[in-house]
Structures are given as structure tokens and as C-alpha cells.
Structure 1
């Protein structure tokens, strides 16, 4: 077995510790007092307002110890709330010191919590580059009569060893993989601006998609730190450190002007007429500069969001190829895992071996997120990340949850499989089967065009609800094309309001978690397609999902009697397709394992 030190992408070091939080919080409070503030807002955000941040911008983790991908801290003089959603409620309690109070969010909003904690006229500071226009609006509405004051970043004042900004190089994404030339995209997005003279773009994946480029500033996500202004005449000004652009001049072409990041604010101040911003992603600082210069602000969604989500046929073909390659790596990994005696492996061994199998493809550019390999109680931590200190041995009777993915130039993958280690209990097998029923239910769906994630999400939960069970995360998220593994605006969740359209790729990943005992999740990626008409059907123009992920689901955990005939038929057909597609890519013991794993239920 490879030594884990050879792992190129994932590391196992602890990046934040609970005991570091209290003295840092005390220093932050001293800065608040000097600034005359009653509180300070620390979001997990950067000026680009994407989901993922570079180490330099991970202020929330540095201050609190909480390392999840979403959350906020509101530091007041006498208390500090850490706001996290359902994915992180187990994790946050293990990562923050008692000086911080975990708060269930969005059930409790930041604004209402602040309003209850501060007297009338209280003042909370925030960095206007890290809060969006829409975010500030919600805060001001829900926290009145508390006031919010723009300030420089107080965390940066006290973070003495703050990392330098990332300087990753950009590369061109070939048009044959993107399905469209970036000149064509720019022209279409410019036409979509309506009467706006320009549009400000801050989100890295929107800029990467628009210009057919990829970056390396954010670990696991091939996006650049860059800003852009799209003009109605199809000109683009790209604000990026010049050192990141070596060799890209010919690709960008004459219609794209390049400027340094420090030129961004002056360029905004020079814009005249109506300027479009997306209030959900535009930093307050950008809106302030534009308004101060007299621009007529027009609020509308980022014009790149929906076109980026609607994958081209070239991108869908690339996704199929990437998943086939990744599926063969997963099967080699699962066959190896099955051959190891209980108690002989640790979670780090699992992570290391799985990355090694993906590397064997000779096509892996990165993993798409840090692999989640949680055994026993760790499986109940939805976004568990193993470290050398938490590394657990995988024992007899455990469930092992492995959620992982790869970044390939032709597609991004994300797959979860839960496997038994030796014999597991009847409770675990019944819960697994309920989760599987939910995943199959989504996979088999047909629905009328116009429905969104909130309309479909319940299908994945019915079997769990019947047993008084549920899971505290969405059923699925959008996925990029060699871009971010989490991509909007579509979501397969109660909060998903954007109607599904052909070409959108999503995850299908119901789960169940018993804190302190085990976790279960089963995940495939799917793409929205037009559904064929059915004889006798009266609803035209329906949609369905095409499955992209083909890797066996562990039959040892399935209580066959709990499945209906249609569910059995789907599972057998799915496994037959897994065998047909993957058999040419594996051999020997792995091929034998694949035959056994895909036998009819």
C-alpha cells in the first residue's frame, strides 16, 4: 500500500483548533472596542462571493475553529454565535470552544439573533467586500433597529500570519469540451443585458465559464481569482494579476482587455449609465462604488448562471466519459476494500488508496473536494474530514461512508457509497434500504416542465418519513463541468426554486445519520433530459433524469423485502448497466468482484 505521505492532493493535518479561538476572539473584541462597535460579522466569504475560499480568506475557521464550507460568526462583547446549517451541526460542536455558541441557521437568522442580543442603536461592523447587497438588506430588515457599519476587516488587523493571496495560473478550456467558443458566449451574455450598459461579474466560476478558462487559486475547484466587467457591446475587461495569464493572450483575443486587480475600483467608478449587478453575489463595496459614481444600478441575476447550468451536449458527453473513467477507479477501490480484513485499515488508508486509483487514470487534475471517509460514528458527521488525530480504525460491524470525486478536464464527479465492514445490524440495513428507495425514487422520476427542486425533494424522503426519519441537508446540488462541484442556481432541495431545465447536472444523495453511531448516504450524479412521450400520456413536454454515475450499490446492505417490484427492476437494470459499461475497463480479481457486486437482487 502507498504511504499516505505520497498523497498529492489531500492532506490530513488539522488546520484549526478549538483552543485557538478564545484568545483570538478576545483580540477581535479589543479591536471592536477601539472601533466603537458592539459587534463584528465574520462570514465564510471572500470578495469574489463564491462558495469556496482560499486559505487567506478563511477567516471564519481562523477565528472560531469551524472549518465547514458555509457559516457565519457574529462576535459581540458578551457572546459569539456561530451560525451553521444542518450539514454541520455535529461538526461545529466538536470544532469550537465554549466561548462560541453554535446557532441553527437558517432557522435562526443572523438578524433576529443580533436584534435580540443588542439594544436599540447597537452597531455591528462588517467588511463591505465580504457581504452581498442582498445579505446586507436581509440583515438590516431583520435586525432593526440595530445599525450596520462598513469598516475595514478587523480580523485582518489581528491575523499576523495571514497567508498571501493565491497566484495560480490560468489555462484555456478547449471549445470542443465546452461546446461553445467563448466569443459566442460573450455575445450571448451581452445581448442578455437588456438596457444595461454593463454588468459586473465577481463569481470565479461565472468568469471561468464565460471566458472558457480554468484557474488554480482555490483548492479542489479549477477557478481563478478574477473580476470582470461585461459591456453591452460584447467587450470584457478582466481584472486579474498579470502573472496568472502566461500564454493565454491568443486564447482571450482582442475583445478581452486585461487590467490589474487594483484597477477594478477605479474602473467601476468610471462606468456610466445603467449597470447590472446580481444582489445575491455582488459585494456591498461594489454597489457603493457604483452608486457613489452616479451609476444607475439594475438588479438581476448573474447572466452566466443559467447558461452555465444548462450543459452543452459536448459537456454532457464529457461528463459521461469522466464518470466512466471515475467509475472504473471506484470499482478497483471497492474491490480492494472488500479484500481487506476488518480492523486492518484506517480512514486515511481508505482516502489514500482511493486517490491512488483515480491517479491511475492518468487524467486526474485534482480531487473535487476532500474525500469524506467516515467509519462508525464519523459517518454521522455529514462533511467529515479525517486528520491524523481523528483517524479511526475501520472495525468489524462498522458502516463506512465514502463520499469523493475527481476533477477531470472533461467533467467533475461526485459519488458516495456506504459499505458494511463485516456483519452489521438490522437497524443499519433497514435504514440503508430506506435511503436507497429515496435515491431510486428520484432516479425514476418523470415530471412536468416548470417544476423545481422544492417540488421533487420529498420523493427522496418518503420512505424515511414513514419510519420517523429524515436528513438535515438537501437531496442534491448542481455540479459544474470541470468547475465547482457545488454549482447553482438549481438545487434538489426544499430551498430549490429554480425550475429544472435540460442539461442541468445534479447530485441525487439522500442519507440518514444516527449521531454517535453511523451514517448512510448513497449518491449518483444525474442530468436533466427531455422525457420520451408515453402511450396514452396527456402531459406533454415532461422531463426526467439520466444517470451519469455507474458504480455498484452494496447489495449486502439491502433488505430486498422492503423494495417494491419497480424498485427491484430499477436496481437490477442499473447493476446490469454498471457491469456492461465497466467490465471492459477492469480485469482479473476486480472483474470477478464486479460480476458478484452486480448480480440481480
Structure 2
């Protein structure tokens, strides 16, 4: 499954492609053009056809955008990618640290007057409104345009055509008929006649289907209109759903994608749109027809996030299966880490152990295998050109996951290659303390990710350290490994609710030297009432889903409190008890040693 990305990330293509885009801008009479990492469906991940940012710049991260003017081309990335972008783009592009530098402020500085064009299918209502507000009072026109990248991308791949398939009810837990009826009733209760849904994972969750249009994400690209009577109009190439007529039944109508715009114009309002995911083009079409728009959350987002009992049972089993594959791999790794293997060898071997379960559908993202200084690149993507041979005395960040029919996994372990230094051990132990803090947390119902995120950072903060990514993201069940709206992030105001799955992944990264990250997935559940506590005050807690040993050789045990030591020892005992009967015989001795009490 390992794929190399040398061609798409080759910075040598950048200058010629930038020149071609600027010529197209001149021909269109615009002074700037925005190039997001987005498609018309506004999911986080895009198909090769829609990866315009990577084609133009060579930057392959999962988030970012470019703003191309005639004399400067900024590539905006957040803290996860600040090292990566400098390695991947040619010097004709200027990396910009976002969100510290906001797009509107940058444009006002670099383009005192002129026109800034954007493809309205690739930018959400929220994004356009925020940028327009920032540019108000300045001589800069924000102009909807045809896509200028498509005009110069001669060998642009075809749109994905993978067939979709039904997700078995034993894993979905609720028939799509009941989901559609329930959400339709919610639309009526809120005075809406219909909702336009664009996010692929929302559509797949609603209809209990999965697809293969996006690498590593089992989703189908489509648009959908959910009506208040529970009926759905699905706009998708009929070839993709040719085998699903019986699954859909009479209340899901399939239409060709090229009819979507006309049918939007025929809707009766109010129509619910999510500003954070609906392309500006859809809002403009409805407004031009005089159709009332009601802005609110994607009606699938919160129900999808709060997993039902069948989904939780399935993902629990998937994590145990995946944990056993991890243990088999970790035993192999300890025996071979100093034998001259490289980062690609590690990725391929781990993927092989997941394949050996017989249940793997795909990996859930391209495995991150970073040794030494590569570990400091938060979302490092190894290629045949960059793969380092593992060196004794270094540490390795290994972030990986699997897509199984019953669940999606995402686990990070930091591993030593021979003896390592005290600086690395100290940093690792601080990260571990933060991860344990989150694992043990109880909190009053109603709090959001922003209220909890600091708990995982406090040990690092007290040592004057921090990390430039969120503490945790939401995760789907055989859907996207990054799922909203829940997050453990300082910018997330979404209340955490039972059934939500999140990652718990503090880290530390020393540029040019090493990186550290420890990640388990956890699920929100109701906390039991404690003796002497307020019985009327609802409390929540996390239950750990991920089971695989945390490397004891990297821990400075004297830095742990007794409570932290107790948590780690109990976790390791659970790892042993849950996994010992699932692993290869040769891995059992390794697991016994790896889970000894600290």
C-alpha cells in the first residue's frame, strides 16, 4: 500500500506552473487568485483531480492554501506544516505562517488595489464572508471566477468513479430510513423545508454507504438534498450507485450531477445551509432564485459524531484487532531497528501486519514514519528520496492507522532506536504526563474542546515547552480519520457529548533534532457519580479505545507522580490482558516484557 509522492511534491515543477497561472490571471483580467486545498464537497481530503494546491506548489499537506499575486505567491500553512512546506516548495513561493498571519491582512499589505479572484465552488460561505469583511473599505474587489488552475492543468486526472457499497446494518446500527426520518423531523421543527449536504462523510453516514473516491477515506463524492419528509435527492454519477437501488429504496432519488444547479433553483425555502461546509456557489444560486436560506449546522454532523452502541462495539473490536497488529509489529521492530532498515521498510512492515488481520480495507492515512530530525516534521511523508536509515541513538515517531469495516484507528508511538539521551527521555515523559492527564479527566457536561485542551499541555508548559497542533481531532467509524465537529482544540466551541471519538495526542518537536508524539483514541462517555459528589451534576469522562504498549525505555520514571505511574501500569496490564491471545506466539514474550509494571 505504500505510495511515494516524489512527482507530486517535486518543487522543480513550481516555477513553470506558477508562470502559467499568472498568464491565465492576466488573460482573465485579475490581479490575484486563491488556490485552496479543497474541492466542491468541502471535505478535508481531496481526490487527485482536485489537489490543485499540490499540483501548483508541490506542498502535499492536508491543509493550507495559496494566494497568488503577480509579484508574490504566498503558501499559507499552520504549525503542523511549517517545516514541511519549506522542504517541498520552490523559492518562487513564500511560506506564510497561518493563522498568525490572516489572509485578508496579507492581501491588504501585498495588493493595495486590484481584484482577487476565487472559485466559488472551492470556498465556503464562511470563508468568503470573513475575507470580504476584512477587505471592506479597501480598493480590492473579491471576484467569483472560473477555476484558473483547471485552465492550465493539461493532464488533470479524471474525476473519481469508484463504486459505492452499503455499510452493513450490524456496523451502522441504525437503518438509513430511520436516520432520514429523524433528521427530516428536525428540519421541520426548525422551520426548514430541506437541507443541502455537501460533505462526503455526512452523505455516506446518512445513507449507510461507503465509497472509494478519496484516498484512505471510504467516502463517495456527491451532493444531497435532504427534505423535511425524510426523502433524499442524491446527485452523483449513476455508475457509482448502480448496485444500491434496493439499499436506497423508493425515497432516495438519484440524479446526474449536471442537474444539481437546476434543481437547487427549484427548491422551496427555507433551505438549511452550513456556512462552514457549503460552497459559496450554492448560496449564490439559491439567493439568485430568491430562495430563503437558513444558516445552521450540517444536520448530519452531530448525530454522526455521537456514535451509537453498534458503532462503539465495532470500533472497540477494530481497535483491539489493530492493537494486536501493532504489538506484532513492535516486537519485530525491536528485533530489527538497528539492522539497517529505513523509514519505508518500517511503513511497509506495519502495513503488512495490518493486512495480515484479513480485515483491513485500507490504511486510514499515509503512515508517518519520521526518525531523528524527520520526527520533528509533524506530518512528515516519507518518500524513496527522503527515507532515512534508522540510526542508533535516535527516536522515531510512528503515526499510523487502519480502516476496517467496523472502525477507524489512529495510533502514534514514539520508539527508541538503541539507547537515547536524557533530553529525549525528559521530553517524552512530559508528553506522556499530558496524555495521562487527558486520559484520566472528568469534566462537567457542556464543556467544549477548548475548555479541556490545556490539560494535555500543562506538563510541557511548566517546562517552557509546547507543540503547534491541536491536542485531538474527531474520528469516524469506518469513515474519515479526521471528523468534525468535535475537537480538542483551543478554537473548538462544540460541546463534547457521549459517543464522540477523539484523539488524545500531545507532542513535542525540536526542529532538526527529534520529535515526540503519543496518541490514543478515546470515546466520551458518562462518568459514574462519585461518593460525596453532587448527584445532580452530570459529568463526563474518556474511555480509552487504543491498546498498545507505550515504550517504557523512554520514560524518566522519577518524573511521574504515583497516580501517573498507577495509570500507566494499569494501562499496560489492560494491553496485556486484551491482546495476549490475539498476537503471534513470538510476540508474546515481547509483550510480557513491554507491559511490566514501572
TM-score normalised per structure 2 = 0.98
1:37 is aligned, of 30, 34, 37, to 30
Matched, 1:187 2:184: no
CA distance in 1, matches of 2:577, 2:6: 40
Conserved? CA contact 2:325–2:583, under 8 Å: no
Shift of 1:493: 1.1
Report the Cα offset of residue 246 of structure 1.
2.7
Distance 2:240 2:153 in 1: 26
Report the more deviating stretch, 231-240 or 582-591.
582-591
Deviation at 1:568, TM superposition (A): 0.3
What CA distance in whole angstroms lies between the structure 2 residues aligned with 1:335 and 1:12?
A: 29
Preserved contact between residue 328 and residue 584 of structure 2 (Cα < 8 Å): no
Given the alignment of the two structures, is residue 231 of structure 1 paired with residue 223 of structure 2, yes or no?
no
Using the alignment, how far apart are the partners of 2:337 and 2:413 within structure 1?
19
Which ranges of 4 or more aligned residues in structure 1 deviate by more than 6 Å? none
Superposed CA deviations along residues 506-529 of structure 1, whole A, max 9, x for unmatched, are: 000000000001000000000000
Partner of 1:111: 104
Q: Return the match for 2:247 from 248, 251, 265.
A: 251
Q: 1:91 aligns with which of 84, 87, 90?
A: 84
Q: Partners in 2 of 1:287 and 1:44 — Cα distance? A: 20
The two structures, once aligned, show a CA RMSD in angstroms of 0.9
- Give, in angstroms, the shift of residue 11 of structure 1: 4.0
Secondary structure of 2:476's counterpart equals coil
Please tell me whether residue 61 in structure 1 is matched to residue 54 in structure 2.
yes
Post-superposition Cα deviations, 1:177-196, rounded to whole Å, max 9, x if no partner, equal 11111000001111111211
Which residue of the other structure, out of 467, 478, 484, is the alignment partner of 1:482?
478
Residues 471-507 of structure 1 show CA distances to partners (whole Å, capped at 9, x for unaligned) of 0000000000100000000100111210100000000
Encode CA deviations 1:290-314: one digit per residue, 9 max, x unaligned: 1111100110110100000000011
Contact 1:9–1:366 (CA under 8 A) maintained in structure 2:
no
User: What secondary structure sits across from 2:399 in the alignment?
Assistant: strand
Contact 2:314 2:407 (8 Å CA) reproduced: yes
The 2-side partners of 1:60 and 1:44 are apart by: 6
For 1:81 and 1:11, the matched residues in 2 are separated by 26
Whether contact under 8 Å (2:319, 2:409) holds in the other structure is: yes
Contact 1:343 1:395 survives alignment (8 Å): no
**Deviation at 1:9?**
5.2
Does residue 568 (structure 1) correspond to residue 565 (structure 2)? The answer is: yes
1:170 equivalenced with 2:167 (yes/no) = no
Task: Give the structure 2 partner of residue 82 of structure 1.
Answer: 75
Report if aligned partners of 1:343, 1:396 keep a CA contact under 8 Å in 2.
no
- Give 1:348's match in structure 2, choosing from 344, 347, 356: 344
Deviations 1:526-579 (A, max 9, x none): 000000000011262100000000100000000000000100000000000000
Query: Is 2:95 aligned against 1:102?
Result: yes
- Please give the secondary structure, in 2, of the residue aligned with 1:111: helix
Q: Distance in 2 between matches of 1:531 and 1:468?
A: 33
Matches within 5 A, 1:537-576: 537-538=533-534, 540-576=537-573
Q: Give secondary structure in 1 for the equivalent of 2:80.
A: coil
1:157 is aligned to: 151
2:274 equivalent in structure 1: 278
Distance 1:408 1:335 in 2: 23
Q: Deviations over 1:77-124 (max 9, x none)?
A: 11011000010000001111111111111111111111111124x210
Q: What is the rounded CA distance, in whole Å, between the counterparts of 2:6 and 2:129 in structure 1?
A: 38
Equivalent in 49, 52, 65 of residue 72 of structure 1 = 65
Tell me the secondary structure at the aligned position of residue 370 of structure 1: coil
Contact 2:371/2:395 (<8 A) preserved = yes
Alignment partners' CA distance in 1, 2:99 and 2:361: 35
Post-superposition Cα deviations, 1:381-433, rounded to whole Å, max 9, x if no partner, equal 11111100001100101101100000000000000000100011000000000
Are positions 1:138 and 2:130 aligned together?
yes
Q: Secondary structure at the match of 2:253?
A: strand
Cross-structure match for 1:600: 597
Query: Please, which runs of 5 or more residues in structure 2 have no aligned partner?
Result: none
Give SS of 1:23's match.
Answer: helix
CA distance in 1, matches of 2:133, 2:73: 21
Query: What is the alpha-carbon distance in structure 2 between the residues aligned to residue 12 and residue 572 of structure 1?
Result: 40
Measure how far apart 1:459 and its partner are.
Answer: 0.7
Query: CA contact under 8 A between 1:79 and 1:100: conserved in structure 2?
Result: yes
- 1:373, distance to aligned residue in structure 2 (A): 0.5
User: Distance in 2 between the 1:298 and 1:542 partners?
Assistant: 33
- CA displacement 1:326-363 (0-9 Å, x = unmatched): 00000000000000151511001000000000000000
C-alpha displacement of 1:12 = 5.4
How many residues matched? Answer: 593
SS in 2 for 1:574: helix
How far did residue 26 of structure 1 move?
Answer: 1.0
Deviations 1:15-47 (CA, angstroms, capped at 9, x unpaired) = 221121111111111111111111000001000
What corresponds to 1:4 in structure 2? none
Q: Residue 12 and residue 111 in structure 1: after superposition, are their counterparts in 2 closer, same or farther (change >3 A)?
A: closer
| 2:117 is aligned with 1:125 | yes
CA deviations on 1:41-76 (whole Å, 9 max, x unpaired) are 000100000000000000001111111001110000
> In the alignment, which residue of structure 2 is the partner of 1:51?
44
CA-CA distance at 1:587 after TM superposition:
3.9
CA distance in 2, matches of 1:109, 1:247: 46
Matched residue, 1:303: 299
1:494 matched residue in structure 2: 490
Work out the CA distance in 2 between the residues paired with 1:63 and 1:46. Answer: 15
Match of 2:407 in 1: 411
Q: In the alignment, is residue 200 of structure 1 matched against residue 191 of structure 2?
A: no
Q: CA deviation at 1:13?
A: 4.2
Could you tell me which of 568, 574, 579 is aligned with 1:577?
574
Unaligned segments of structure 1, at least 5 residues? 1-7
Question: How far 1:269 sits from its partner (Å)?
Answer: 0.9
The residue that corresponds to 1:364 in the other structure is 360
Q: Secondary structure at the match of 1:339?
A: helix
C-alpha distance in 2 between matches for 1:389 and 1:260: 43
